[in-house]
Structure 1
Amino acid sequence: MRVTSKGQVTIPIDIREKAGLLPNTDVEFNYDGNVVTVSRKSGQKAGTRLRMVERLRGTAHTGGLSTDDIMAMTRGE
């Protein structure tokens, strides 16, 4: 990983997902003299799952199938 001229780095997606760091999550940086850490801002709840659901809402492409059709397919009917 390389720091850009603007001081930016890309956090790998697997780490972002494990840490619950979705877009618009506030983070804090700490430095102890040797190590830099990044964490969700204090007091911010891990409500990232709800934000993820909201972000994905309405994005499914059902090909014109109704909910009943999709449920029947998942049940093998």
Structure 2
Amino acid sequence: MSTLTVTAKGQVTLRKDLLEHLGVHPGEKISVDKLPDGRIEVKAARPTGKISDLFGSLKAKRKGRSLSIEEMNEIIARGWAGKR
């Protein structure tokens, strides 16, 4: 069991070994659940959405007709060649 210190601001810092155990990296989120008897449960917060939730999310930002596969391939080829 680890012992952590609470700062004057009420903050607690988790040590590196605890973060590694949770599989959490800088910038990621941690969820905390309150349990009975003054206990808490700390878990890595994982996204709960599905990939299909993203389908069409950029559609509203694009104006005009859709590109054909040939047009996309041409744009990609120009990008690889350093041409814009």
Could you say which TM-score interval applies, normalised by the shorter chain?
Answer: 0.3 to 0.5
Q: Which of the pair has the greater relative contact order for Cα pairs under 8 Å at 6+ separation?
A: 1
Q: TM-score, normalised by structure 2?
A: 0.44
- Between structure 1 and structure 2, the one with the greater Rg is 2
Q: TM-score, normalised by structure 1?
A: 0.47
